Amino acid sequence: MPRLKLTAENYYSPEANLEYMSASQFKSFRRCESAALAELRGEWGRKETSALLVGSYVDAYFSSELEQFRAEHPEIFKKDGTLKAEFLQAQNICERLESDDLARMLLSGKHQIIKTGRIGGVWFKGKFDSLLTASQVEAICRRFPMVQALVPFGGPMIVDLKCMRDFETIWDEETQERVSFVHYWGYDIQGAIYQKIDNRMAPFVIVAATKETEPDIDALHIPDQDLAFSLAEVEALAPRYAAIKQGDISPVGCGKCAYCRRTKKLDSIADYKKIKVMEE
């Protein structure tokens, strides 16, 4: 059992990230073990971009923490005190979601609930955007009967809020094909982890909104069989990533990411024609 008890204040702390795996941390290790470990050690870090802050703004709006978020992020304002353009758009996204009855009801559960659990013998943490009770889900089903198919016997529901550029498919270099944004960004991995640590087999639903001038919105269900497939991957890889965190196994770099480019060491002189063949 981890020694650190998670709270809203320490959830994102280095100590919490070392003691617990999370969906985002797991996905970081899957992309590049070396970069993920360097980030945990404070040797490498991704900058907090405006795109990430827009998503955080929308999260804060629906968890009733917007005033606190605005106070903690003065960089979202212009010199005259008004919101910068991208955060005016974030506010527009919030209002668009709230204007839709189904989206609003899906996002009306308990917000930012912290849960932990073991997967593959590794302790995971998760912070849930909207945990709906069985009675809330029942009310949604009465208003929108087609939702009943997701909960034929009743029960709770896990809802995650996502903001993205658009809903188009994305080119995946690894598989050399265009894939759903859900798969590309690993939302199926996140859903599998959340469903497992929630321990109730509740349906996992994404409420999504785009950052387009006129935001598009959608509510997407990831089927349990897809989550089961993703969970098997988490169970298989989590022990290795935990061992890397503990220093028992050396990480393997991807050789392509910014961290690998930054730390690359030359040890030979290559034939340029071979480099070209490898890139093709």
In whole numbers, what is the pLDDT of the chain averaged over residues?
Answer: 94
3-state SS assignment for residue 199: coil
| Element housing 45 (H / E) | none
**What pLDDT score was predicted for residue 97?**
97
- CA atoms within 13 A of residue 114's CA, in its CB half-sphere: 11
- Check whether 280 has a pLDDT greater than 50: no
| Element housing 7 (H / E) | none
Give the confidence band of 135 by pLDDT, cuts at 50, 70, 90.
very high
- Check whether 279 has a pLDDT greater than 70: no
What does the CA dihedral 47, 48, 50, 55 come to, rounded to 10 degrees? 140
**What pLDDT score was predicted for residue 52?**
86
**What pLDDT score was predicted for residue 114?**
97
- Check whether 274 has a pLDDT greater than 80: no
Residue-wise pLDDT for 178-205, tens only, equals 999 999 999 999 999 999 999 999 999 9
**Amino acid symbol at 236:** A
- Check whether 15 has a pLDDT greater than 80: yes
What is the average per-residue pLDDT within 247-272?
93
Give the confidence band of 277 by pLDDT, cuts at 50, 70, 90.
very low
Lowest mean pLDDT among 72-76, 108-112, 213-217, 271-275: 271-275
Residue-wise pLDDT for 49-94, tens only, equals 788 899 999 999 999 999 999 999 999 999 999 999 999 999 999 9
Backbone angles phi, psi at 250, to 5 degrees: -80, 140
Lowest mean pLDDT among 32-41, 47-56, 83-92, 270-279: 270-279
Two tokens at 100? 């839709």
Query: Are β-strands 204-210 and 177-179 bridged in parallel, bridged antiparallel, or unpaired?
Result: unpaired
- CA atoms within 13 A of residue 3's CA, in its CB half-sphere: 2
- pTM value? 0.92
**Size of the chain, expressed as the number of residues it contains:** 280
Hey, CA dihedral for 64, 67, 71, 77, is it positive or negative?
A: positive
**What pLDDT score was predicted for residue 275?**
66
- Check whether 267 has a pLDDT greater than 50: yes
The position carrying tokens 């709906």 is: 132
**What pLDDT score was predicted for residue 50?**
81
Lowest mean pLDDT among 6-10, 49-53, 102-106: 49-53
